[in-house]
Homo-oligomer: A and B are copies of this chain.
Amino acid sequence: MPNTLKKSKLRFAVLATDSVVFTVFNDSLHVLLMEVNTPDFSNMWALPGGLINPDETADDSVKRHLEEKTGLKDTYTEQLYTFSSIDRDPRGRVVSVAYICLVASGRIKSLKTEKLWWCPAEKLPGLAYDHNEIVHTALERLEARVGYTNVIQHLLAKEFTLGELQRAYEIILKHPIDKRNFRKKIFSVDFVKKTGKKQRGEAHRPADLYTFSDSNIRIIEVL
């Protein structure tokens, strides 16, 4: 069952990257999809991605493709897993290094919306290639890492309320959290600090605004 590599320009470029880009809005986690239209997959959805150039690392490749295809820049990225099933791409042997990317929903306005779709994570359609498997792996990983690190900060704006933070946790971990216990915990591991500012313009008591106190990834058993 040797690979074919027929019709393609893929001759040398067996290596690709794919991104699972997450954001949170409307009380749910969303994944960014792109429309593909090839002989093998006509009018289907797939993850954004593309081939790795000979002169770039996988990390560079993810960032380049993301920016080229979606306009998103400077997003948080972390390597997920390398998928190497032999027939994952019908055009020939393509091994893909998949990444997780996190974006605050405030930054997604600037997306070229043509052929791009933020799909709720629980409502994914059948995707091209093995992309359902990739998203599934990414969801597992995201949930785990949110549970014991401070990566969730990359899904929020620079300044945020504790309510927003709590909602983000609840959406990703998929279970409700007690408000008072949540705050106690968050303060005890000191993930956040007060900005002193308050949120205004909402039809309820103004919330204190916070920022994350450490932009590096910290490993701490959280919730």
The answer to whether the Cβ of A82 comes within 8 Å of any Cβ in the partner chain is yes
Q: Which residue of A1, A58, A81, A82 has the most chain B CB atoms within 10 A of its CB atom?
A: A82
Contact present for B15 and A86 (CB under 8 Å):
no
Known contacts A79-B81, A84-B97, A221-B221; A55/B1 CB under 8 A: yes
Contact between B54 and A2, CB atoms less than 8 A apart: yes
Residues in B with CB closer than 8 Å to A1 are 55
How many residues belonging to A are interface residues under a CB distance threshold of 8 Å?
25
Distance (Å) between the CB of A185 and the closest chain B CB? 15
**Copies assembled:** 2
**Pair B93/A54 contact, Cβ less than 8 Å:** yes
Within the complex, the shortest CB–CB distance from A211 to chain B, in Å, comes to 27
User: What 0/1 readout, one digit per residue, does chain A (72-96) give for beta carbons within 8 Å of chain B?
Assistant: 0000000101101110000001010
Q: Which chain A residues in 43-58 approach chain B with CB under 8 Å?
A: 52, 54-58
Residue of B at shortest CB range from A54?
Answer: B3
Residue-wise, chain A 118-149 has the 8 Å CB interface mask toward B (1 for contact) of: 00000000000000000000000000100000
Question: Which residue on chain B has the smallest CB distance to residue A11?
Answer: B12
- Whether, in the assembled complex, A223 has its beta carbon less than 8 Å from a beta carbon of chain B, the answer is no
Which A residues are closer than 8 A to B by beta carbons?
1-3, 12, 14-15, 52, 54-59, 79, 81-82, 84-86, 93, 95, 97, 144, 219, 221
